[in-house]
Amino acid sequence: MSKVIVSPSLLSCDFLNIEREIKILNKIENIWYHLDIMDGHFVPNLTFGHPIIAKIASIAKHPLDAHLMVTNPEFYFETLAKNKIHNLTFHYEACKNEQQAKAMIEQAKKYYPSVGISIRPKTDLQTIPMAVLEKINLFLLMSVEPGFGGQSFLPEAFDKLKELNKIRQERKLNFSIQIDGGISEINAKQLTALGVDNFVAGSFVFRVENNNYQKKINQLRE
């Protein structure tokens, strides 16, 4: 079975019973808790605020993985730091230029063990400077438009993943590749073969009966 990390997206869980949901997931090995943090500006929706994140952090037994879909990522770097977040990812599109992106990565690394960047599906991978890729710990490749759960996987993400993995191998870079959007047992094996190290899965994991999350997560790793 693959050692790929699965990061259940808590945006898709039962919010009225979020503590119960997390305690079920606490028993599953090699997972992260993925937090989609939206500001209503960079993307249309609003999601987790600081009090909810603090509550999640207090009961979570696995690493927290924060994906900032916000216009001003720097605002969150220090305010979220006390919540035991392992990985923090922000969007390259939120940066004005290469210099700002590199400075933001360095700033975030003061607070978080792992720092990543992400891009929207329509953003050309070639617009990301090599100097930025050399600084990150994780690259989050969006295979749907950010901001909404339950979307279908965009097939063009396969080509972008191949390109990203090629860059990583040829340049001998150390970042892991995370992919988010429309992930299921249908495409997981192919994505793993193309270099994915970490799956973000929301609807596939949580929209099941009897809270059989272990079975669903195993399907992504087979």
Q: Catalytic: 39?
A: no
Tell me the backbone φ, ψ of residue 214, rounded to 5 degrees: -60, -45
CB atoms within 10 A of CB 112: 20
**60 touches 85 (CB < 8 A):** no
Which of the following is catalytic: 14, 36, 39, 159? 36
Q: Catalytic: 180?
A: yes
For residue 38, the surrounding DSSP H or E stretch is strand 33-38
Beta strands of 63-220 (E only): which ranges?
64-69, 85-91, 114-119, 138-142, 176-180, 198-201
Which of the following is catalytic: 14, 39, 180, 197? 180
Amino acid at position 113, single letter = P
> Where in the sequence numbering do the catalytic residues fall?
36, 180
